[in-house]
Each structure stands twice: as structure tokens, then as C-alpha cells.
């Protein structure tokens, strides 16, 4: 019974979610998106054979694989998903919301698993050369939150520079949000072209400093050495589930040949210090503002918090690629991989945003709770659950005699049966 309840509730939620994304693009595309999305959510894989197993419906395995391949190749699932995510996500971006912008890739080590158009490049997460494709992503992050809201993606063939795509991504988010967000880029974004673009567009942005030897203060000293001579202010920063103390120093400087004004910030947590360019944009205080120093100090603290929030886009990349086995995908064309990629991002939104907002969430949680012992007997689930609990600052403990364990002589419920 539990399996049927979970299966039926989850299927209804999937169909409602997919209809909100693809409902206006024709019945055939909607049907295909539903079938593929169901396989990705319930099978945890993007491998065509695995998707076909869930979609077979008694058909011959080869026929099911061909049907899945046609669905991946005959439709454009990426464009509707991209527009839907930008529209839905931008509506929730408030003034000053962190918008993390970063690059990542879908790559494979050598060994016959490559896909059309892949090019060789360095895979930083695995510290090896690999074949892959690159994408630029922008995601909104709530202060101290542990999930992101995907906004915009630029997914390109091969491993190529995406400077142009970065500008397009920034333009798309800026236009959709009305400039409410604060762009946050990692140290790869501190080049003259990117900083100048942000300054010329009057964007509010935070960029990690990569080149500390720039003379942005006109003193001839490196950035870290200049800021080390200034007094520090202690601020409280929020991380998922807890707070941390940080020491912040700041000083106004000028960037590039045009000597464009920037606020340079040092943020130190423990013994680790990092340096940021904070671009205030429309929040820049006037030169004759009597509260100018206090406002700049607040902007420096906001920059430290925004960069701390940026880490969640890295977690998002990991979750999308690992939870749905995206880098194990076996498809021959870039179009099919692109469709899978956007379906996996939608899967992340479905799990982190859509289900928690639905009334059926309580029924799903009850099924999980009632079957916790069966599920937790599996080592992988047990370890991931234990690590998640250990990361929480407070836990709820239930005292008294435990309930009688459920009968585990019956076959364990498997997600793959959905």
C-alpha cells in the first residue's frame, strides 16, 4: 500500500510540474517530457537504457530504447525549460538578492564514453584531463540558504571560453529581475573585460580577486598588504544552519586603465582570508554623504555575505550532476545531452522548490517516516542521512519506548519500482 501511495502521489506531482513547464508546447512534447522526467526522477539516471526500463510498459527493451532516443532527439525540451526557469526564478528575486554566476562542465575521462562535439579540457573537480561541454549558470541564493533557484544557463559545445555567454547570461538576468540582484562571481571573473562590463552597466556585483598584485590604491602595494594595515570590523555571517564570525576590512580603490571606482574588501574567517571587488552600483553613497563610511562598511559586510552564499551554486552543480548521474549519460548528439541537462535542472527545482510548496508534501513525508527503517538499512542512504543530521545545529530527540519495528521480512520498497 505504501508503495502505491508514494507512486501515485509522486506521479501526480510530476505531471502537474511538467504541465506548468511544457503545457503550452503541444501534447506530443508534453507526453515525451513527462515520460523522460519520470525516468530521471525515479530512476536517478540519464542513461537511455535505464530510462527505457522505466518507460518500457511491457514493450521489448530495444523498442523502448528507440522510443526514448526519439523523444530526446525530436523535441527541443531545453528552450521552454530555460524560459520557464528564468520567469519563475526572477519573480522571487528581491532587492539585494545574491545571484551567483559561475562556469561548470559536463565531462568524461577518456575511455570510449564521449559524445558529439566534446573537446579536451581540464576537469578541476577530478584533477584530470577530460572531454566535455561547458555551461555558464546564474542562480539566486537566499542569504544563509542551502539551495538555489536556477535562473539562466548558457550550455555550449566543447570546452571553449564563454566570455560572450557570460555577458548574455548577465543581460538575461538583469532584464528579467530589473537589476534587483547582486551578481557574485568567483576569481575567474576579475579580468579587465568583465569588471569593466559590470561597472559600465552599473551592476551591483561582488567578484573575488585573483590578481593581488594590482595597484588599485595607487600606493604601489599589493591588495593584501594594503588592507592588512587597516583596522578590522567583526561581522556575523550566515551559513546554512549556523552563523560564523568574520573580520572585514575595506578600502576604496580604482580599477583598470580607466580608473573606475571599486570597493576592495578583505573577508577573513578563522585564518583564511579572501579579497573581493565590491561594485555598489546604484547603492554607492554620494561623495558628500555624511554617513558615507557607515554605508561603505555595510556594503563591505554585504559583499562578504554574498560571496559566502555563492558556494551554494557549487553544491547545485554537484547535486545536478551526481543525483541524476548526468555525467554517465550515454547519448550521441549534443541536442540529446542538452535536453537531458535541462531536465536534470528541472529535477532539482522539482525536489527543492516544487514539492515543498505542495500540500502533498506532508503525505510524502509520512510515507518516508513510516518506512524509515527499511530505507535506512541501505548503507548509502544511512551514511548520507547521518551526515545530513550531523550537519544540523540542533536535533529533535524523541524519548520513551520506541515503536515496534516494522516487519522487514517483506521485500524492501525500491525507488526503481516506481
> Residues, the chain, total?
418
pLDDT in tens, the chain (418 residues): 445 777 888 899 999 999 999 999 999 999 999 999 999 998 888 888 888 877 665 556 778 888 888 889 999 999 999 999 999 999 999 999 999 999 998 876 554 455 555 666 666 666 666 678 889 999 999 999 999 999 999 888 877 666 678 999 999 999 999 999 999 999 888 888 899 899 989 999 999 999 999 899 999 999 999 999 999 999 999 999 899 999 999 999 998 777 888 999 999 999 899 999 999 999 999 999 999 999 999 999 999 999 999 999 999 999 999 888 888 887 888 899 999 999 999 999 999 999 988 888 887 888 777 777 777 766 666 777 777 777 777 777 665 555 555 554 444 333 333 2
Angle at 186 between CA 166 and CA 147, to 5 degrees: 90
Give the burial class of 131: count Cβ atoms within 10 A of its Cβ; 0-12 exposed, 13-18 middle, 19 or more buried: buried
- What pLDDT does residue 333 have? 86
3-state secondary structure of 69: helix
| Beta-strand relationship, 205-208 and 128-141 | unpaired
- What pLDDT does residue 416 have? 34
- What pLDDT does residue 403 have? 55
- What pLDDT does residue 418 have? 29
| Beta-strand relationship, 272-279 and 128-141 | unpaired
Q: Are 152 and 86 in contact (CB under 8 A)?
A: yes
Q: Residue 83 and residue 98: Cα distance in Å, rounded?
A: 20
Where do the domains of the chain lie?
2-75+329-358, 80-320
Residue found under cell 522539482: 350
Nearest CA to 140 out of 338, 349, 327 is that of 349
Query: Within 13 A of 168's CA, how many CA atoms are on the CB side?
Result: 12
Dig out the grid coordinates for 102 from the structure: 559561475
pTM value?
0.86
Dig out the grid coordinates for 160 from the structure: 571553449
Q: Residue 374 and residue 390: Cα distance in Å, rounded?
A: 21
Nearest CA to 32 out of 77, 84, 83, 64 is that of 77
The top-level CATH class assigned to 80-320 is: alpha beta
- What pLDDT does residue 181 have? 95
Amino acid at each position: 500500500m505504501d508503495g502505491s501511495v508514494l507512486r501515485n502521489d509522486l506521479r501526480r506531482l510530476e505531471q502537474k510540474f511538467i504541465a506548468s513547464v511544457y503545457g503550452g508546447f503541444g501534447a506530443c512534447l508534453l507526453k515525451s517530457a513527462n515520460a523522460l522526467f519520470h525516468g530521471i526522477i525515479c530512476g536517478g539516471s540519464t542513461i537511455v537504457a535505464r530510462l527505457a526500463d522505466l518507460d518500457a510498459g511491457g514493450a521489448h527493451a530495444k523498442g523502448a530504447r528507440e522510443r526514448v532516443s526519439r523523444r530526446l532527439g525530436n523535441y527541443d525540451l531545453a528552450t521552454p525549460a530555460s524560459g520557464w526557469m528564468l520567469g519563475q526564478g526572477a519573480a522571487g528575486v528581491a532587492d539585494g538578492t545574491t545571484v551567483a554566476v559561475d562556469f561548470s562542465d559536463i565531462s568524461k575521462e577518456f575511455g570510449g564514453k564521449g559524445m558529439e562535439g566534446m573537446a579536451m579540457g581540464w576537469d578541476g573537480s577530478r584533477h584530470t584531463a577530460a572531454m566535455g561541454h561547458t555551461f555558464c549558470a546564474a542562480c539566486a541564493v537566499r542569504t544563509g540558504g542551502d539551495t538555489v533557484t536556477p535562473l539562466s544557463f548558457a550550455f555550449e559545445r566543447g570546452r571553449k571560453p564563454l566570455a560572450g555567454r557570460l555577458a548574455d547570461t548577465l543581460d538575461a538576468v538583469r532584464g528579467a529581475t530589473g537589476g534587483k540582484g547582486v551578481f557574485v562571481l568567483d576569481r575567474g571573473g576579475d579580468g579587465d573585460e568583465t569588471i569593466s562590463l559590470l561597472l559600465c552597466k552599473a551592476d551591483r556585483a561582488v567578484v573575488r580577486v585573483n590578481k593581488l598584485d594590482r595597484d588599485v590604491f595607487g600606493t604601489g602595494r599589493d591588495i593584501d598588504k594594503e588592507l592588512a594595515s587597516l583596522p578590522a570590523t567583526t561581522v556575523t555571517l550566515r551559513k546554512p544552519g549556523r552563523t560564523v564570525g568574520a573580520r572585514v576590512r575595506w578600502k576604496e580603490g580604482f580599477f583598470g586603465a580607466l580608473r573606475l571606482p571599486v570597493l576592495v574588501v578583505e573577508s577573513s574567517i578563522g585564518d583564511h582570508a579572501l579579497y573581493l571587488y565590491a561594485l555598489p552600483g546604484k547603492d554607492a553613497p554620494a561623495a558628500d554623504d555624511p554617513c558615507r563610511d557607515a554605508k561603505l562598511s555595510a556594503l563591505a559586510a554585504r559583499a562578504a555575505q554574498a560571496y559566502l552564499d555563492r558556494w551554494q551554486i557549487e553544491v547545485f552543480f554537484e547535486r545536478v550532476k551526481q543525483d541524476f548521474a548526468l555525467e554517465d549519460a550515454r547519448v550521441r548528439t549534443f541536442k540529446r545531452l542538452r535536453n537531458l541537462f535541462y531536465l536534470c535542472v528541472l529535477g532539482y527545482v522539482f525536489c527543492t522548490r516544487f514539492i515543498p510548496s505542495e500540500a502533498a508534501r506532508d503525505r510524502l513525508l509520512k510515507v518516508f517516516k513510516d518506512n524509515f527503517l527499511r530505507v535506512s538499512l541501505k548503507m548509502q542512504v544511512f551514511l548520507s542521512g547521518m551526515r545530513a543530521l550531523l550537519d544540523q545545529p540542533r536535533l529533535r530527540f524523541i524519548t520513551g519506548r520506541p515503536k515496534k519495528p516494522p516487519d522487514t521480512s517483506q521485500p524492501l520498497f525500491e525507488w526503481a519500482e516506481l
